[in-house]
Amino acid sequence: MKNTAPTSAEGLEQPGAGPLAAQVREISKIYGTGDAEVIALDHVTVGIPKSRFTAIMGPSGSGKSTLMHCMAGLDSIDSGQVFLGDVELSRLDDKRLTRLRRDKVGFVFQAFNLVPTLTALENITLPMDIAGRKPDTNWLDHVIDTVGLRPRLKHRPSELSGGQQQRVACARALAGRPEIIFADEPTGNLDSRSGAEILSFLRNSVQEMGQTIVMVTHDPAAAAYSDEVLFLTDGRIVDQMVEPTAEKVLERMKGFDLPGVTAS
């Protein structure tokens, strides 16, 4: 018998981890049917602590992106519960879910996902413009200076390097002060120096701004920037590691006998 899950996450805490920004309880996600059935998530229960940097690792196909998409309300689940803050996503209709994502969640994707016809500054403020919210100019200035984009604000994405484009995407995610930022392989398209800059920036935004970040990555060196790593295999969380280093993460991955994991 499974636990009867409460319908509110209010006041939920993980031992030693403080309050949670997001939580999934016993969630399962199945794609396809019959022979084509894939159990992408298999009764996953985990909490994402507030103001911490959490990395999700695991081999290709282990369910990392699916878990992130379900947590962010971008994908539906077949069973279980997903909470952002104390709001259970399944209780929201599409309109409310869209509004919650818009107001409370920031995204950074591997492919930057900037609008090519807009300047860097217009890209950064786009989510707020769409929401009809006025940017907090002090905060916006702070974010722009922190990512070092001040001299590039009038440039279009095609006039920026990959690292600069991803800094625009990070600034866009941070500008609206979301409760949580989901980053899916944010350094996957960057050289190692630009990648390190982005990761340092994400790390600083947790440390200095109290931002909550969840990041999917294949790279033990990237995971080393996080406070805690969740390891997924076959749609299940099989381990967690606090205060990771690239070496410890790589060792742990080898222990799971996961293919395709290399140190970088």
Ligand X SMILES: Nc1ncnc2c1ncn2[C@@H]1O[C@H](COP(=O)(O)OP(=O)(O)OP(=O)(O)O)[C@@H](O)[C@H]1O
Point out which residues bind ligand X (CB under 6 A): 31-32, 38, 40, 58, 60-66
The CB-of-19 to ligand X minimum distance in angstroms stands at: 27
3-class DSSP state for residue 106?
A: strand
| Chain centre to alpha carbon of residue 184 | 6
Distances (CA, A) of 58 to 43, 55, 182, 183, 258: 16, 10, 17, 15, 8
Report the candidate in 2, 23, 44, 41 with the shortest Cα–Cα distance to residue 87: 23
Asked if residue 165 lies in contact with residue 116, where contact means CB atoms within 8 angstroms, the answer is: no
Asked if residue 177 lies in contact with residue 146, where contact means CB atoms within 8 angstroms, the answer is: no
The CB-of-37 to ligand X minimum distance in angstroms stands at: 9
The CB-of-32 to ligand X minimum distance in angstroms stands at: 5
Give start and end residues of each alpha helix (H) in 72-190: 94-104, 120-131, 137-146, 162-175
The CB-of-218 to ligand X minimum distance in angstroms stands at: 6
Question: Closer to ligand X at the Cβ: 163 or 188?
Answer: 188
Q: What is the spatial distance between Cα 185 and Cα 143, in angstroms, rounded to a whole number?
A: 21
Question: Closer to ligand X at the Cβ: 63 or 178?
Answer: 63
Question: Closer to ligand X at the Cβ: 70 or 144?
Answer: 70
The CB-of-5 to ligand X minimum distance in angstroms stands at: 23
Question: Closer to ligand X at the Cβ: 197 or 219?
Answer: 219
Question: Closer to ligand X at the Cβ: 121 or 237?
Answer: 237
Task: Give me 257's structure tokens.
Answer: 């006998």
